[in-house]
Amino acid sequence: MKIEVVTLFPKMFVGPFDESIIKRAREKGLVEIVIHDIRKWAKDRHKSVDDRPYGGGVGMILKVEPVYEALKELKSKNSKIILLTPQGKTFNQTLARKLSKFQHLILIAGHYEGYDERIRKHLVDEEISIGDYVLTGGELPAMVLVDAVARLVPKVLVKPEALRHESFNQNQGLDYPQFTRPEKFQGWRVPKVLLSGNHKEIEKWRKKESFKTTKKNRPDLIK
């Protein structure tokens, strides 16, 4: 999979993809991540990519021309173009799985007050938000999306069977509680059933606890 990010602030991406699972995926050639400075496609000598909105208003708007030129150069027939915006559909695990099937993602991470509407209307395939709150730009949402999607690419995880037991997987709700050594700490003990070796009872306990956690913290996930 190839993921390209078009942004006003490419230096913000230095670090997040150079550690842990994503780093290993890149080194193995499973995922290619390329960060582009949108100013590369600006036409004027000042490399301007934003301007004041028509009709007045506060802040600056990302211009349509540099985005159009960027996509003209980067887009292929296999590309999926995504705009990171609070106005988009909320990102979730189902959407992450869907996006992990594409060969090529292009993410547009705007900044400041928003986008020229012609970008949204004519140049992108999908608009995505990572939650009902406002950030200073689309860079952090782009990082979240890349991380969530890249780990779903085949062979990225050393133990892919772990995906089956994660929160939000196939509407199974939140993950069950997990424990490790020591068995007792500060008077807090590991549940006896997990020490029993009875895998049938352990599975039953995990399903019960998963349901309890989901009902308490995310009742909206329970059908």
Give binding residues for S-adenosyl-L-methionine as ranges: 110, 130-135
Binding-site positions: 110, 130-135
Quickly count: other Cβ atoms within 10 Å of residue 78's Cβ.
10
User: Three-state SS for 61?
Assistant: strand
Reported as half-sphere exposure (CB side, CA atoms, 13 A), residue 188 has a value of 6
User: Three-state SS for 2?
Assistant: strand
Cα angle value 57/59/63 (rounded, 5°):
100
Here the tokens at position 129 are 């938000």
Which residue do the tokens 């980067």 mark? 74
Identify which of 42, 41, 23, 43 has the alpha carbon closest to the alpha carbon of residue 33: 23
Residue 26, H or E segment: helix 20-27
Distance CA 96, CA 44 (A): 37
Residue type, 215: K
The rounded Cα 157 to chain-centroid distance in angstroms is 16
Do residues 128 and 141 make contact, with C-beta atoms less than 8 angstroms apart? yes
User: Three-state SS for 212?
Assistant: helix
